[in-house]
Amino acid sequence: MKKFLSIFVTLLVAFVAFAFLTKEAEADKSVFGTKSFDDKERIKQISLDYLRGGLAARSIGANDFNVKSVEFDDLNMAHTKVRQTVAGIPVWEGEVIIHLKADGSLASVTDDLKDRLIVNTEPGFSAKEAIEIAGNMYDGAAELTEAPIAELWIFRGKARDHLTYRVEMPRLDGTEHTSIPVVFVDAQTGEKVFEYDNLQTATGSGSSLYSGTVSIETYLNGSTYYMEDIGRKIGTFDNRNTTDTTNRFTDTDNTWDGSSQRAGVDAHYGAAKTFDYYKNVHGRTGIDGSGGPGYYTSADGVTKLISSKIHYGSNYNNAFWNGSYMTYGDGDGTTFSPLVTLDICGHEMTHGVTERTANLTYSGESGALNESMSDVFGAMVERYARGGTVTSDTWKIGEQTYTPGTSGDALRYMDNPHAKSGGGYTADDDPDHYSERYTGTSDNGGVHINSGIGNKAFYLVAAGGTHHLSGVTVSGVGTSPAERIWYRSLTVYMTSSTNFSGARTATLNAATDLYGSASTQYNTVATAWCAVGVGSCPGSGGGSEILTNGGFEGSASPWALSGSGAFYTANGSYPHGGTGYVYFGVNNSVTGQAYQQVSIPSGATGSLSFWLNVTSNETTTSTQYDKLFVEIRNTSGSLLKTLTTYSNLNKGAAGSYSQKSFDVSAYKGQTVRIQFRATTDGSATTTFRVDDVSLR
Ligand code: TI1
Ligand code: ZN
Ligand code: CA
């Protein structure tokens, strides 16, 4: 043990000398010459000579010292820091600093030496036993996150002096119990002499780029603050515009307002908020659930930190998780400003969570779900950090960094993925319906494109709305139930190969666990997936069928077809089910309709659904020229309500049907006509195919 200590001290002196030498080039002229290592040896001897005068009266041995460092300052003074020892064992808080003037004369002494120590320096038991004894004194000994360390120290107690083992027990688990308890155990009697918590955290003030002035947790070591949060075990590092050199972010006054520190502040804050979000909302500690994964080691020498690298590369327009840590680019200033917003930090750390749970393969549908999970929880982290309110920005992804020259836009829109323009993957960009999904090979099979389908489903569960394509209306159940369901689906039910259909099942299973299979939440999840074209809507299949021959099999009867633009076929190429279906339009300047009159019992579900396929020769992406109206009329044929209007804008491939669903419960207890009616203009034809109509 003593040998270990002296090696440690030697290393420490060598390290200080090295640190000094690296600064030497910029040093000014000094009476201490070049301030070389030799000068330090000379200063050390001068200092010890001053020290030795008068020690005998204090019962301190002339050689009971270890010089820890010699430092020169801006005022041409030298300061020799010395540790008191007894028989080579360090004395706790037994320190002295000898301050020398430029001419080598004594300026002053900071004297905290312990006089007349009386102690037996032979321990009665081993360091290993000391760790066991200390463990019995600390409740959380089973929760330690690092191996405890025991070292011999002489300790000046209240009643007498002790030889002690100083046992340090790191519990850096990110819980409220996060601490580094230190217990001094008497090395002969085993009694506790003293204890304290050695977790040296500080709260700094950071000038973020995107969240104003924020509090950040930092670590103070000597007189340097590090951008390291020892409690949460999160560290933020500086790539300084390289891709391979990593430096610590440091500061002298714990006010982080330097221009290159600011992006670091955002990422450090974003990582802390993401950590707290997962901890407080979902009970998950860290990315891996056990407070890690740690990558870089803190300046404290022990704590492995969940790490973020900032200022990666030059003009780098992205951010990513690589399986071990997060990396953030500065952007090129045009497409992106530094990519360190709350939603991006949440996005990247969530990739880590996904990797340690479902591990969704980053390709195709599972990859789109992986990206969607990152957007969903990125948005939820942003909401959490901003006090829990949902705003229009909650559903925008990257709005604070995307195209800094254009305000109000975003990289992606969870509420309306089509609002993204310019990627060119679908007519109006990111798909929000399964039938619009991108099946090409770009972007790993569209992971950032088809994420829109999952994002829209989550949005509908949380906030509700009517889907523009399916016409399905969802009553949102609120953001908190939605995030709980999604988190459980990700961590409990999804696997690496989960596709959209599997995601529907996973979220339904999670909703069943949390709220029950008869719950509003369960129904809403099913309706939301149905709205984005994944699975059928609840209710369709529930309750008994009220319509007759909704599948148009054998004949159109009892549907009444009239006009020049309504047709029945039993041998056409595009039935949805069976062989028969009706179709409308087809030619220019026609009108035509089909209705069936029904009495809707007051005990009915009140849900109308059907399958629709639109093909068109129209090329516009903005104007409705040819239309299909879905109408409720009374028994005289007067219009009561137009449920929706489809047009040439809904066109797709022939036979590519999607299911539409409407709430008609307002007409329960009434006799009404369910009518489809088409009108076309004078050029470029459109055909509307309708099949498998159901009213329950
Ligand atoms: S996880 C990472 C994949 C990057 C792969 C290339 C190394 C990713 O998805 N990054 C996000 C960053 C982001 C998140 C930017 C939210 C803005 C808002 C991302 O969406 N990147 C886009 C630019 C992409 O890679 O297409
Ligand atoms: Zn991503
Ligand atoms: Ca946002």
Q: How far is the CA of 456 from the centre of ligand 1 (A)?
A: 18
Cα gap 379→395, rounded to integer Å: 6
- Do 472 and 531 touch, CB atoms closer than 8 A? yes
pLDDT confidence of residue 171: 84
Contacts of 391 (CB under 8 A, 6+ apart): none
Let me know: does 686 contact 613? Beta carbons within 8 Å. no
- Go through 202-237 and write b for each residue having 16 or more CB atoms within 10 A of its CB, e for each that does not: eebebbbbbbeebebbbbbeeeebbbbbbbbbbbbb
Task: Give the torsion through C-alpha atoms of 167, 173, 175, 181, to 10 deg.
Answer: 10
Q: Is the CB of residue 476 less than 8 Å from the CB of residue 274? A: no
Nearest CA to ligand 1 atom 13: 344
Quote the DSSP letter at residue 577.
S
The CA 273 to ligand 3 mean position distance, Å, reads 14
Indicate which ligand has the atom closest to the C-alpha of 393. 3
Rounded to the nearest angstrom, the distance between the alpha carbon of 319 and the centre of ligand 1 is 6
- Beta pairing class for 234-238 and 304-312: parallel
Using a 10 angstrom Cβ sphere, with 0-12 exposed, 13-18 middle and 19 or more buried, the burial of residue 409 is middle
Task: Supply the DSSP symbol for 84.
Answer: E
For residues 16 and 69, the answer to whether their CB atoms sit within 8 Å is yes
Q: Write the pLDDT tens digit of every residue in 330-339.
A: 999 999 999 9
Residue 298 C-alpha from the chain's centroid: 22
Res 35: pLDDT: 62
Three-state secondary structure readout of 63-78: CCEEEEEEEECCCCCE
* Residue with CA nearest ligand 1 atom 21: 318
Q: Whose CA is nearest to atom 5 of ligand 1?
A: 320
DSSP summary character for residue 196: E
Q: Is there a catalytic annotation at residue 268?
A: no
- Known active-site residue 355: no
Q: Which residues line ligand 1 (CB under 6 A)?
A: 318-321, 339, 343-344, 347-348, 351, 371, 397-398, 411, 448
In residues, how long is the chain? 696
CB crowding 437-468: b at 16 or more within 10 Å, else e = bbeeeebbbbbbbbbbbbbbbbbbbbbbbebe
Which of 315, 397, 411 has most ligand 1 atoms within 8 Å of CB, for mutation? 411
**Which residue numbers in the chain have pLDDT < 70?**
1-38, 172-176, 422-428, 540-543
User: What does the pLDDT read at residue 147?
Assistant: 87
Contact between residue 312 and residue 332 where contact means Cβ atoms under 8 Å apart: no
**CA-closest residue to ligand 1 atom 23:** 318
| pTM, entire model | 0.66
The pLDDT value recorded for residue 173 is 65
Atom number in ligand 1 closest to CA 402:
17
